[in-house]
Amino acid sequence: AQTVTQSQPEMSVQEAETVTLSCTYDTSESNYYLFWYKQPPSRQMILVIRQEAYKQQNATENRFSVNFQKAAKSFSLKISDSQLGDTAMYFCAFMKHDSGAGSYQLTFGKGTKLSVIP
């Protein structure tokens, strides 16, 4: 079974500064994907960024980027130029490819509550 660990229950950052959220995972799979989801107070789960395990290049989406270290099984999220709207819970998630059924299960970490301070 896969496990995802987020060791920082809460973090805060000043507006316009940079913050990094940590995530580690454990798996014996070789074919998988990693994700960061954002959950603002509205409760909606929003996909922020994803990384394919077979790609060495770190994924980037505007102000969001990841540091993917496959050997260390580490997948951190960096948010640059933090904005007030970035205040939310952030979940790291793992997806393996269930090739038999063609379906994909997500395993989530417990989340990090990020507060952006004006």
Partner 1 sequence: DAGVIQSPRHEVTEMGQEVTLRCKPISGHNSLFWYRQTMMRGLELLIYFNNNVPIDDSGMPEDRFSAKMPNASFSTLKIQPSEPRDSAVYFCASSLSTVLSSYNEQFFGPGTRLTVL
Of 3, 44, 69, 83, the residue at the interface with partner 1 (CB under 8 A) is 44
State how far the Cα of 34 lies from the Cα of 68, in Å rounded to an integer.
9
Q: Give the nearest distance from C-beta 67 to partner 1 in angstroms.
A: 20
Q: Give the nearest distance from C-beta 102 to partner 1 in angstroms.
A: 4
| Nearest residue to 82 via CA among 9, 8, 17, 10 | 17
Of 50, 73, 78, 113, the residue at the interface with partner 1 (CB under 8 A) is 50
Taking CB under 8 A as the rule, does residue 108 contact partner 1?
A: yes
State how far the Cα of 91 lies from the Cα of 4, in Å rounded to an integer.
10
* Range 64-103, binding partner 1 (CB under 8 A): 91, 97-99, 101-103
Helix/strand/coil for 4: strand
